[in-house]
A and B are shown apart, each in its own frame.
Chain A
């Protein structure tokens, strides 16, 4: 935004450029309320050492706690601990979920020699199914859509038998998905 304006007229930019923490996205001085304090501190020390020195210096911390009564300090500390534990638990849970969720690539026979390929379970890896479906369609030059499952949830249906290439493509493009979690299934039409 700023660049285009500057090229037209030499307007002095008056907006401030605020640095945000790369871990919790808050301005670094508010990291202490985020629950991921340890990680924020490490990030700040690495990326903005000067700011780190200012915010987390012993004097600054002392000044921060001196303003509170001892009782309030205790409460704040307890609160912070609880928050940190909660954030950690959430992270753990997320990791577990990732490890246990399986992506199923299903080849479904539609008509003797014609197939569609269904991909189930990608949403567990935080992917936007609509966008992924578009990418699949582009890659294989076929129709690719998001369909609702009768059991709730959604799957991506790609036209044609692309199960093997699809596996490779997913592994290459979406690095979050571990290879062991991809499962290939062949679904024959029952007569």
Chain B
């Protein structure tokens, strides 16, 4: 999505009501962030938004990028935020061979996940139940505790690395990926070293 370098636009201060709404939708999308919300979005902090090409909006707090959003769809975390709270976002892991493709902006394909080095959520993971949003997380060996559905935001980790390397939305549910074993999984991701990463938010 941000393969090309971006030019930052002037930042705009957000109304406090908009900020509250954002906070709400953030917690709805990422319930695991609840314990950290004060640290990410302090009530008093003044959040700013920055318009980016292709109807993307980036939310910045004190020059630290937090989230970006494409035309009113789900909020996606900026990678710098993922690095600060890696345990709060559903993740999948790619094998070593796929890293260099993802880092040059390619669509993530299923074989990068189904091979020995990749990690998909555990088999037969139950879907999320109402009121039990907090009971998910990484169980054994870098696998998420439930199957992730199509369209869900997901963080992409990499084999042998500690930090996440990309963020995107699933183009196919993880159960489908396991069954088919081919095809695109994450399209148009935000990855390390892309335009959004290099954007100057100061």
Please give the residue numbers on chain A whose beta carbons come within 8 Å of chain B beta carbons, in ascending order: 1-2, 4-5, 11, 13-18, 24-27, 29-30, 33-34, 63-64, 67-68, 72, 76, 79
Contacts of A18 in B (CB 8 A): 80, 83-84, 163
Measured CB to CB, the closest approach of chain B to A190, in angstroms, equals 38
> A4 and B42: CB pair below 8 A?
yes
> B64 and A1: CB pair below 8 A?
yes
Q: How far is the CA of A17 from the CA of B44 in the complex (A)?
A: 22
Contacts of B97 in A (CB 8 A): 68, 72, 76
Q: How far is the CA of A11 from the CA of B43 in the complex (A)?
A: 14
> A25 and B42: CB pair below 8 A?
no
> B193 and A29: CB pair below 8 A?
no
Given contacts A1-B61, A16-B84, A67-B96, is CB(A27)–CB(B42) below 8 Å?
Answer: no
Tell me the chain B residues, 163-202 only, with Cβ under 8 Å from chain A: 163, 165, 192-193, 197-198
Q: How far is the CA of A76 from the CA of B38 in the complex (A)?
A: 43
- The stretch from B17-25, B133-141, B154-162 touching chain A is B154-162
Q: How far is the CA of A79 from the CA of B95 in the complex (A)?
A: 17
> A27 and B96: CB pair below 8 A?
no
Determine the residue in chain A with the shortest Cβ distance to B164: A27
B100 at the interface (CB under 8 A from A): yes
Measured CB to CB, the closest approach of chain A to B78, in angstroms, equals 12
Given contacts A30-B163, A34-B193, A64-B96, is CB(A14)–CB(B42) below 8 Å?
Answer: no
Q: How far is the CA of A76 from the CA of B64 in the complex (A)?
A: 34
Given contacts A16-B84, A18-B84, A25-B193, is CB(A76)–CB(B100) below 8 Å?
Answer: yes
Interface residue range, chain B: 20 to 34
> A63 and B42: CB pair below 8 A?
no
Contacts of B5 in A (CB 8 A): none
> B39 and A5: CB pair below 8 A?
yes
Across chains A and B, which 5 residue pairs bring their CB atoms closest together, nearest first? A15-B84, A18-B83, A27-B163, A33-B103, A29-B161
Contacts of A34 in B (CB 8 A): 193
Q: How far is the CA of A100 from the CA of B84 in the complex (A)?
A: 43
Q: How far is the CA of A4 from the CA of B197 in the complex (A)?
A: 26
Measured CB to CB, the closest approach of chain A to B7, in angstroms, equals 11
Among A63, A76, A79, the residue within 8 A (CB) of B160 is: A63
Given contacts A15-B36, A25-B198, A33-B99, is CB(A1)–CB(B42) below 8 Å?
Answer: yes
Contacts of A17 in B (CB 8 A): 84
Given contacts A1-B64, A33-B103, A67-B96, is CB(A27)–CB(B192) below 8 Å?
Answer: yes
Contacts of B160 in A (CB 8 A): 63-64, 67
> B192 and A14: CB pair below 8 A?
no
> B39 and A29: CB pair below 8 A?
no
> B163 and A11: CB pair below 8 A?
no
Contacts of A30 in B (CB 8 A): 99, 103, 161, 163, 165, 192-193
Given contacts A1-B64, A29-B163, is CB(A24)–CB(B38) below 8 Å?
Answer: no
